Structure formats: structure tokens, C-alpha cells
A and B are shown apart, each in its own frame.
With several copies, the nearest count.
Chain A
Amino acid sequence: MSRSPLPYSRKILELFRNPKNLGRMEDATVSATAGSPACGDMIAFYLKIDENTVITRASFESYGCAANIATASMLTEMVEGKKLEEAWRIGWKDVANEVGGLPAVKFHCGVLAVGALRRAIREFFRRKGFKPEWMPEKETFEEKQALEEEELSKIISQRLTLGGGEK
């Protein structure tokens, strides 16, 4: 078990210091969370969606690290003005690229943000009572990760173990 060096990009620090679209949205069309305080990281995502399934506003809250805050913030900017279908197609790697890359140990923070977004979109259609064609039946990687956030740390830790049996 050890600390990890975190060479964050300047963009991450900028968004960490001046996050865009931060805060609970009282009049959100839909919202979702991913992660839980009991296991550490948590994110909440709020969407205002118009009649054409265009996201007119997005906001977030984060109980997580700088990478978590920055990727969530970036994601709110990336989805604004997009149709839900387009927003759905944004993967965690896209967000990671937009913030200038993530340290390996922080991939899951981006995953969590996308997971929360997709959950909110699913929730929107669940309420509408139908599932659009482009939305897969099965949970995507990001959603599964969000669901399993309680176990995420273990998974990641296995993946990240460096040669030599580090615990």
C-alpha cells in the first residue's frame, strides 16, 4: 500500500480551482449519483433536458479528488447543448483527454463521472417509459464501475499492482 505520484495536468488543476457548473440544480429534469460516501468517492450529476432531449444545463457535485472534480466539471461542459444520444457516446477516455490526461491511478475518477451521467440519462428514459435504440440494454463499463464503486478500489488495486507484489 503506498502513495502514488500524481502529475495532474494544468487543466485539471484549473478546473479543480474554478470548476464549471458546480452545485446542486434545484430544477433539474433528472439527477443521479455514483459511488457512495461509505466507500470514499462520490459524485452527483444534474441535467436540465428540454423537449428535444437536448441537455440545456448540467451541473455536478463531488466528494472526491481533484481528478474527480475536474472530470465531472469537464463533463458538464461537454454535454451542454448536446442531445442525450450524443452525450451518451462520451466515454471516460474522452473526458480524460479533454482534461489533458489522467494519471493511471485516477482513471476511475473519470469513469465515475461518466457513470453518473449515463445513469441520469437512463433514469430520464426510465421515467419517460421507453428505451431509445442507441441505448444498450446492458450496462456499459462506466455504469458497471459506478455500480460497483464499493468494490472498485479492489479492482483497481489489482490492475495497478506493480511487479513485486505490492499491497
Chain B
Amino acid sequence: MEHLNDVRNLIKYHGQVEREVYLDLENSTPLPSEVLQEMLPYFTSKAYGNPTLTHKQGWEAYETIMDAAGFITRLIGGSSAEELCFTSGEAEANSLAIFGTVGKKNGRIVVSAADPLNILLPVEKLEKKGFEVVRVPVDPEGFINLEALAKAVNKNTVLVSTSMVNNEIGTIQPFREIVKTVREANPDVTIHMDASDAYGRISFNVKDIDVDLLSLSSYKIMGPRGVAALYVKSGVEVERIIEGPIGTQALWPGVENTPLIVGFKKASELAFKDFDGNVSRMRKLRDMLMKGLLSIEDTLLNGPVGDKRAPDNVNISFLHCEGEALTIELSFKGVYVSSGSACTRRILQPSHVLTAIGREYEAAHGSILMKVSRYHSSEDIKYVLECFKPAVERIRAMSPTRRI
């Protein structure tokens, strides 16, 4: 672990900064202290038992967990707390929805080409095992092609798994139409939607959408990591992917993580308390950030604008400017963002979402993904904009490509 010293040096190499603005909410989140405060007693002194045990600490845990499940289920319009299964994260929720649905069946699985990797990779694994996978194309703004979807769903189709809002470019999919299109093509298909980037930011109702399975993430609404949920419409059968003695969660064995679940509930509460206020606040910050960055020359917006775009998402390509270098340059100023550049990926391929919307490698190479939250201020955004200009300039100045 010699290289850990490198990392320590590298962290030290960051000096004092005027301000820290964390916009990399796609990949993780610092927990707001109001959420942490709510969780604290559950770690050490409250409801710390196993919810299946017949003693006070167990009953308290049971009450706490079922209350949270009921609360979250109501927010998405479900019927009962039993429809919600807490998991350890969005990836597990999506794997559970996908692997747990197809089980012994066989046939075709339909996804969109711009879905998150925790949909595309489980499906790819099933493809290797003999399932047929159709990846429906998206248009240049990331919207799924409904005609192609209608054609993709045939009588052999067992599952459609797709996302409600694109996690990289913020495209709000026509999710009601997606479900209608699929049901018309084949009413027996199980429909799974990953709503992790929609929950708390756009309003929806599972009954209205008529979806069978729906994933929700906690950290994506500023709740703790390590917890997420899969909504399973009553009557829909899903097989567990982890086996063990089950407690309150029919599809997840293991000791329920009461403090994290409490945090997930609290974050949900805060996101929905003044939903419209929160959303318009985010949208304002988003547009301020977007406008400021697009005023830099040679930039491209990735994804749609206005109401068709998630209120928190900003994704912009800076041409002639490699993205990973830019994330590092910005880090030195306390601004934390991520990039879809091939240089940031283990396999050195650019973001599959940017590829799916038809972006050239060059555009992906300079792409930066950011998300704003209600915890950000316009001062934060102003600071970010101040930092971006010189950062982009410095990285661009190193590049030989502008003259080519």
C-alpha cells in the first residue's frame, strides 16, 4: 500500500481554499447535518435492536423501519409499506429488480442505450447467459425513441428496465408514455424504472405511471449512502439475490440498518416538505450555472433545457479541454465535479450516455457533470463560475488541438 502515501501527499498538496463547493452529487454526497442529527440517536441509544426481536429495542426498530417505509411509500403513491424493500444501494435495487425478475424465465430484455450502468451491466450479464437484449436508442437530447421501444417489445419480452431521468444529462423521460407503449405492445412485461434521479426532484406517482418496480436512492436526495429502496407493486414477484433469514424486508436478508433508513426518511421529508420551493430553487441555481458556463466559448450543453431537464442537472462539454484534467484543476480551488472523459474511466471509453446521444469523443472528452441541491447558494455558483473560466483556459492552453 505504498501508493497510499502518494494519495496522502496529494491531499496535502491541496492548499487552503476560499470556499468548497461540492457539485459531484451524482457520485456521492456529504450528509446535511439536519439529516445526520436525525440519525444519531439510532446509532447508539434508540431502536438499535433487530426489528424481528421481541424486546423493546427490537420493537422500536420495527416501528421505526415500518414507519419510514410507509412514509416513503406514500410519497411515491404506493399502497402499503410492504411494497417497499430497503436495499444497500441503487445498484443492489437495480440488480434485484433485473436478476430477481427474470429468474427462470427466458426471453428478451429491453433497456435504453442511455440507462445507468447499474441497469446496463446486469442486463449485459444476462445477455451472456442467453437472454436477448435490445438497447433502444435515444435522441440527441437523450429521450428514448418510443417507436423503437414499441418495436423492441415483442411477445418474448420479459422485462423492460429503464430510468425515469437520465443520471448524466438530466433528460426527463416520457415515463407514462414509456409504460403505455410497453403495455400496449405486451401487457405481461414486467416494467422496472430507476427513479433515483427523479425522486424528490420531479413529481410522479407509481399508480399513475403503472410501473411494477421502481428504484429509489437515498444519497441522491442528500440522504446517507448505503441505503436505497426497491418499490415492488403488490402482486409482482421478485426473487431474492442475496439469501439469508429474512426479517422485515421480504427481498433483503440481513440486519436492517435503522439509522440509515431513518436518514433516508428524513432526507425524503426535507425534499418533499416544500417540494415546489426546493425544485424552483434548484432550477434557478442550475440555470445560473448553465448560463455562466455556456458563456465560455467552445462549449456544448449535453441534454435538454427547461422543464424537460431535471432541476438539478448540469452537463457541459468544454471543447479542447480534457475533462479529468479539468476536475483536478477545479479540485485545487475547492470545486468538486466529475467528467465523462475517457481518461476518467478504467477502460478509457468516454461516457456511454454521451456516446448514446451522438456526441463525438472530443465532446465527451471535455464533459463536466454537476448537480446542484437546495443546500447550494447563488454565492456558491458564483464562486464556481469564477473558478471555471481560468481553469478551462489553463487546460485549453496546454492543448495542441485547437490549431488542428
Within 8 A of A (CB), among B303-345: 320, 322, 324-325, 328, 332, 341-345
Q: A3-B53, A24-B400, A167-B121 are in contact. Are A64 and B322 (CB under 8 A)?
A: yes
* Contact A33–B400 (Cβ < 8 Å): yes
Closest 4 CB pairs of A and B: A157-B347, A2-B245, A10-B9, A4-B346
The segment from A39-47, A48-56, A132-140 found at the interface with B is A39-47
A37 to B396, CA, bound (A): 13
How many residues belonging to A are interface residues under a CB distance threshold of 8 Å?
52
A37 to B321, CA, bound (A): 10
The segment from B180-188, B236-244, B279-287 found at the interface with A is B236-244
- What residues on B are CB-neighbors of A5 within 8 Å? 51-52, 58, 62, 247-248
The winner among B4, B10, B128, B397 for most chain A CB atoms within 10 A is B10
- What residues on A are CB-neighbors of B53 within 8 Å? 3
- What residues on A are CB-neighbors of B7 within 8 Å? 7
User: Is B401 located at the chain interface by the 8 A CB criterion?
Assistant: yes
* Contact B6–A8 (Cβ < 8 Å): yes
* Contact B347–A1 (Cβ < 8 Å): yes
Chain B residue nearest to A150 in the complex (CB): B361
Q: Which of A1, A10, A62, A69 contacts B346 (CB 8 A)?
A: A1
Task: Kindly list 7 other residue pairs between chains A and B, CB separation below 8 angstroms, not including A4-B52, A63-B400, A166-B346.
Answer: A1-B117, A1-B346, A2-B347, A7-B62, A19-B398, A39-B361, A40-B342
Q: Which of B3, B50, B125, B401 contacts A165 (CB 8 A)?
A: B125
Q: Which of B6, B63, B128, B346 contacts A3 (CB 8 A)?
A: B346
In the complex, what's the smallest C-beta–C-beta distance from A10 to chain B, in angstroms?
Answer: 4
* Contact B346–A160 (Cβ < 8 Å): yes
A/B interface sample: 21 pairs, CB < 8 A: A2-B52, A3-B52, A6-B52, A9-B9, A10-B6, A10-B9, A38-B361, A41-B342, A41-B343, A42-B401, A62-B400, A63-B320, A63-B322, A63-B398, A65-B341, A105-B346, A105-B348, A153-B349, A156-B348, A164-B250, A166-B347
Q: Which of A1, A33, A37 contacts B362 (CB 8 A)?
A: A37
User: Is A90 located at the chain interface by the 8 A CB criterion?
Assistant: no
Chain B residue nearest to A3 in the complex (CB): B52
- What residues on A are CB-neighbors of B201 within 8 Å? none
Indicate with 1 or 0, residue by residue over A1-43, a CB within 8 angstroms of chain B CB atoms. 1111111111001101101001110000000010001111111
- What residues on A are CB-neighbors of B250 within 8 Å? 162-164
Chain B residue nearest to A4 in the complex (CB): B346
* Contact B328–A22 (Cβ < 8 Å): no
Q: A3-B345, A42-B401, A157-B349 are in contact. Are A13 and B13 (CB under 8 A)?
A: yes
Chain A residue nearest to B4 in the complex (CB): A7
Q: Range of interface residues on chain B? A: 35 or more
* Contact A3–B247 (Cβ < 8 Å): yes
In the complex, what's the smallest C-beta–C-beta distance from A97 to chain B, in angstroms?
Answer: 13
- What residues on A are CB-neighbors of B128 within 8 Å? 165
In the complex, what's the smallest C-beta–C-beta distance from B113 to chain A, in angstroms?
Answer: 13
User: Is B297 located at the chain interface by the 8 A CB criterion?
Assistant: no
User: Is B360 located at the chain interface by the 8 A CB criterion?
Assistant: yes
Indicate with 1 or 0, residue by residue over A61-104, a CB within 8 angstroms of chain B CB atoms. 11111101100000000000000000000000000000011010
- What residues on A are CB-neighbors of B142 within 8 Å? none
In the complex, what's the smallest C-beta–C-beta distance from A118 to chain B, in angstroms?
Answer: 17
- What residues on A are CB-neighbors of B251 within 8 Å? 164
User: Is B350 located at the chain interface by the 8 A CB criterion?
Assistant: yes
In the complex, what's the smallest C-beta–C-beta distance from B17 to chain A, in angstroms?
Answer: 14
Within 8 A of A (CB), among B346-404: 346-350, 352, 360-362, 365, 397-401, 404
Q: Which of B10, B237, B347, B361 contacts A160 (CB 8 A)?
A: B347
* Contact B245–A1 (Cβ < 8 Å): yes
User: Is B294 located at the chain interface by the 8 A CB criterion?
Assistant: no
- What residues on B are CB-neighbors of A122 within 8 Å? none
